[in-house]
Structure 1
Amino acid sequence: MCIQYLTQGWICKYHIVFTPKYRRKIEFNQYKRDIVDIIKRLCKYKGVEIIEGHIMPDHIHLLLSIPLKYSVSSFMGYLKGKSSLMIFDMHANLKYKYGNRKFWAEGYYVSTVGLNEGTIRKYIKDQEAHDIAIDKLTTKEYTKPFGNKKK
């Protein structure tokens, strides 16, 4: 949602989520710091403000303020395309695992941010802790339901 402020400009904020191809967790965790630096650099080039961001083991959450001159789809094409090339340039061994030099999966999730910006910021900050807590609650040991039955 774009909000006009002081009749001179606009504030356009978006919650965006995207994933690496095949949700590859191991490789993603190994290159996390480089990915953060690349995303920050590319956003700075386009004048996009990162309000909040968090890298999960298999996806990225961003709360961005994108200038009106860019559509969300054109910016995301730029961000995912350029970051893929930069990641493969920094880590040449990845091109054997990904083959076609596409680091990110197709598509992304986007929603506009209106008056609930605080709620979205809290969600992005706290999501990893919430996921870890849920994983700890579900530590039930499962047995083989069809194995070793006596008649």
Structure 2
Amino acid sequence: MKKVEYNTNRHSCYKLQYHLVVTTKYRHKCITGEILKRLKEISLDLFRKQKCTILEMEGEQDHIHILFEAPPQVQLSKLVNTLKSVSSRYIRKEFSEHLSRFYWKPYFWNRSYLLLSSGGAPIETIKEYIKNQETPNTANTP
């Protein structure tokens, strides 16, 4: 069995992993290989600045997936919104000619996103572990 390695800061140990999915506006199939490569560069830089680690990132023509770790102090909604606004600004500027075939307004990402917690044991295993904790003996309390 593989031993879990935790991250630490001054007052906690943690292992927080998330799966993020972001789709293009109207699910237009406008992400090319070159755009995906640039999205990876932008994402790596942005996540590093936020003390987050990208474990895996790939995408298709209309969406991207990012598996990442984040410390507990990171506000996930702010991280996602920063990623979307910064990457959209760069991609729209650098690939404006290509994107003009898909968008007549300054769009790139859909307003929505999917964020899932991931990693660790399945939820049923955790429930069982908690349920089977030894209950303190109330007869021996002072």
* Alignment TM-score, normalising by the size of structure 2: 0.67
2:105 to 81, 100, 124: 100
Letter in 2 for 1:28: I
User: Judging changes above 3 Å, is the alpha-carbon distance between structure 1 residues 115 and 82 closer, same or farther for their aligned structure 2 residues?
Assistant: same
User: Which segments of 5 or more consecutive residues in structure 2 lack a partner in the other structure?
Assistant: 1-5, 123-142
- What do you get for the CA RMSD once the two structures are aligned? 2.5
Q: Is the 8 A contact 1:95 1:101 kept in 2?
A: no
For 1:89, what is the secondary structure of its paired residue? Answer: helix
Moved >3 Å (runs of 4+): 3-9
Identity, in percent, stands at 26
The 3-state SS of whatever aligns with 1:69 is coil
TM-score normalised per structure 1 = 0.64
Which secondary structure state, in structure 1, belongs to the residue aligned with residue 115 of structure 2? Answer: strand
Q: Quick check: 2:31–2:60 contact (8 Å CA) kept in 1?
A: no
Q: Aligned partners of 1:99, 1:42: CA distance in 2, in Å?
A: 27
Q: Trace 1:1-151 onto structure 2 (pairs within 5 A).
A: 8-25=12-29, 27-30=30-33, 31-93=35-97, 94=99, 97-116=102-121
Gaps of 5+ in 1: 118-151
| Cα distance in 2 between the residues matched to 1:5 and 1:90 | 38
Letter in 1 for 2:105: N
C-alpha contact (below 8 Å) 1:16/1:61 kept by paired residues: yes
Q: CA deviation at 1:89?
A: 2.0
Give the deviation of 1:15 after TM superposition: 1.0
Q: How far off its partner does 1:21 sit? A: 1.0
From the CA coordinates, give the structure whose radius of gyration is larger. 2
Aligned residue pair count: 114
